[in-house]
Amino acid sequence: MQLTAKQRTRVDWFLTILRVAALVLIGAGLVAFVAQVVDSNNPFARWANPDAINLTGRQFRDLVVAGLAQGAMYGLIALGYSMVYGVLGFINFAHGEVFMIGAVTGAITSSKLAEAGAWEDNFVLCLLLVVVLSMVVCTITAVIMERVAYRPLRGKPRLIPLITSIGVSFFLQNFILVLLGPGTKTYPRMPEWLTEKRTFLEIQGTRLLVLAAAAVAMVGLWYLVERTKTGKAMRAVAEDAEIASLMGIDVNRVIVKTFAVGGAMAGVAGILWGLLFNSVLHTAGFLPGIKAFSAAVVGGIGNLGGSMAGGLTIGVAESLGPLVILEPLGVSGPSQLRDAVAFSVLIIVLLVRPSGIFGERLPSEERT
């Protein structure tokens, strides 16, 4: 008898069926897509969806780049989830709202700058200023949040801070709503040279800028975590908080720094949102927040490189998925299902590989 052969219950069978069904669906969609690209009149393609729109190579590339740009933003947000989960072991639901506050800060400051006429004249400097301001505001928000809502709950079962963070999330959303009103906050127009498509490989400049900014932020974070004393302390606390404190590390300070760094990354992501979408609402943080959490899980929670990779995966999946998998199968209005696709990615990953694609790094589990 084989050791791993576990008695299969009905639930196991059901799960296996679900897994297979999900993979078959994805596979069928992909095959249909390829069939339609090769020849939209071949019988299989016609059977799957007789009036599929055919993506041109250029549209496909645009979708990928758009997905990557959004994914980079998700990746930056995901870092905050991942780091907090790594150190404290709970999902900080309100992190998406920190990101939203960053985007709102950006909208307010940039439109003030535009009013003063500086935005047009000195775009790069203004953008830098806006990014720094947003990072500062987000850092402060994240730190206050930790101090007020999470620190008193240290050591409680992980569902308790999770529920608290849901409360914080809705509080922050409506905090912005009542202070700033329900209207959309818009960013001023970007300069032409950025929005025009004539840049590298005819990719829109803003997307390149977003990818570059994410890369810079990522390198900075990598340096902080891997090369500095603070980073070492963070990793030690993530490994085992108790032992770290015995080694003379001030755990509280490390946790505050973790929130601060996560907040700063969310601040950068907030501005990227502004660059990509030009306007922001008080509810803008919720969905990206959950998608970013999905990204953190997909990349293996606690694993920083994985978070970024997971973000890119989710971004590309939700940008391509509707048109490459759903549309070829004859689903009408597939782009309305973007968010559903993002959630499905999370569910499928957790069904097929719960520890994420790149493996999680979690504090050692308590033992019996």
Partner 1 sequence: MTAVADPMAASTGDTVPETVRRRRVLDQNWRELLKVGAILMVGQVFIALSGMPVSFDRRLIIDPILSLGYLSLLWLPLVVGYAVGREQALEGMMAYTKGGREVLAGAITGVLGNLGLTLLVVGITHFDIRDPLVNWSPQLLELLEFEQSVWFGALIWLGIGAATGAAGGGLHWVGARNRRTVITVIAAVSSAAVLESVITDLAQGFHIEAVANWLYAPKRGLTSPAAAVVAGATILAVNAISALRARAAHRLVSAAEASPTESGSTRGGRLSPRRLAGFALTVAAVIVLPLFLGRLTNELLANVGLFILLALGLNIIVGLAGILDLGYVAFFAVGGYSVAVLTSPGSPRFSPEMPWIGALFIAMLLAGLVGLFIGAPVIRMRGDYLAVVTLGFGEIIRILLLSDWLSGTFNGAQGIINIPGVEIFGLTTVRGFEPRSVLYLVLFFCAIAIYVSWRLENSRIGRAWMAIREDESVAEAMGVDTVSAKLMAFVTGAVLGSFSGAILSAKVGSIFPHSFAIIVSIVILVVVIFGGMGNIAGVIAGAAVLIGVLGGPNQPGLLQEFAEFKILIYGALLVWMMLQRSEGLIPSVRRARELHTDELNQDAWLRAQADEADDASNPGVLDGQGPRP
Partner 2 sequence: MSSPPMLEIAGLHVVFGGLHALSDLDFAVEEGEIVAVIGPNGAGKTTFFNVVSGMVKPTQGQIYFEGRSLLGLDPNKITARGIARTFQNVRLFANMTVLENVMVSQHCRTRQRMLDALLYTSRFRREEEQVRARGKEVLGFFGTRLTGYRFDQPASVLSYANRRRLEIARAMATSPKLLLLDEPVAGMNPVESAELTQLIGKLRDEMGYTIVLIEHDMSVVRDISDRVVVLDHGEAIARGTYAEVSADPQVIEAYLGRAADGN
What, of partner 2, partner 1, none, does residue 7 touch, CB below 5 to 8 Å by kind?
partner 2
Q: Which of 1, 5, 11, 201 binds partner 1 (CB under 8 A)?
A: 11
59-68 burial string, b = 16+ CB within 10 Å, else e? eeebbbbbbb
Q: How far is the CB of 233 from partner 1 (least distance, A)?
A: 25
Distance CA 334, CA 324 (A): 10
6 binds partner 2 (CB under 8 A): yes
Closest to partner 1 by CB, 248 vs 354, is: 354
Q: Which of 173, 258, 307, 313 binds partner 1 (CB under 8 A)?
A: 173
What, of partner 2, partner 1, none, does residue 281 touch, CB below 5 to 8 Å by kind?
none
The dihedral over CA atoms of 113, 119, 123, 126, expressed in degrees to the nearest 10, equals: -10
Q: How far is the CB of 367 from partner 2 (least distance, A)?
A: 9
Closest to partner 2 by CB, 2 vs 332, is: 2
Closest to partner 1 by CB, 38 vs 347, is: 347
Q: Which of 7, 10, 155, 198 binds partner 2 (CB under 8 A)?
A: 7
Q: Which residues in the 56-95 window bind partner 1 by CB under 8 A?
A: 90-91
292 binds partner 1 (CB under 8 A): no
2-10, 61-69, 111-119, 207-215 -> range binding partner 2 (CB under 8 A): 2-10
42 binds partner 1 (CB under 8 A): no
* Helices 123-145 and 251-277, axial angle in degrees (round to 10): 140
The identity of residue 346, as a single letter, is L
- Give the position of tokens 């897994």: 19
65-73, 120-128, 153-161, 311-319 -> range binding partner 1 (CB under 8 A): 153-161
3 binds partner 2 (CB under 8 A): yes
Those residues whose C-beta lies under 8 Å from the C-beta of residue 191, and which sit 6 or more positions away, are 120, 123
How far, in Å, are 15, 142, 244 from residue 24 at the CA level?
Answer: 14, 42, 47
149-188 burial string, b = 16+ CB within 10 Å, else e? bbeebeeeeeeebeebbeebbeebbeebeeeeeeeebebb
Instruction: Report which DSSP code applies to 142.
Output: H
39-47, 146-154, 244-252, 306-314 -> range binding partner 1 (CB under 8 A): 146-154
Q: How far is the CB of 246 from partner 1 (least distance, A)?
A: 27
Those residues whose C-beta lies under 8 Å from the C-beta of residue 342, and which sit 6 or more positions away, are 290, 291, 294, 314, 317, 318
Structure tokens at 232: 């070492």
Q: How far is the CB of 12 from partner 2 (least distance, A)?
A: 11
User: Which residues on adjacent β-strands are paired with residue 185?
Assistant: 280
Q: Tell me the three state secondary structure of residue 338.
A: helix
DSSP string of 198-221?
TSGGG--HHHHHHHHHHHHHHHHH
Closest to partner 1 by CB, 125 vs 177, is: 177
4-12, 191-199, 228-236, 310-318 -> range binding partner 2 (CB under 8 A): 4-12
- Contact assessment for residue 205 and residue 130, using Cβ atoms and an 8 Å cutoff: no
10 binds partner 2 (CB under 8 A): no
What, of partner 2, partner 1, none, does residue 3 touch, CB below 5 to 8 Å by kind?
partner 2
> Which residues make up the interface to partner 1 (CB under 8 A)?
9, 11, 14-15, 18, 90-91, 108, 112, 149, 152-153, 156, 158-164, 166-175, 177-181, 185, 286, 290, 293-294, 297, 331-334, 336-337, 339-340, 343-344, 346-347, 350-351, 354
> Which residues make up the interface to partner 2 (CB under 8 A)?
1, 3-7, 9, 368
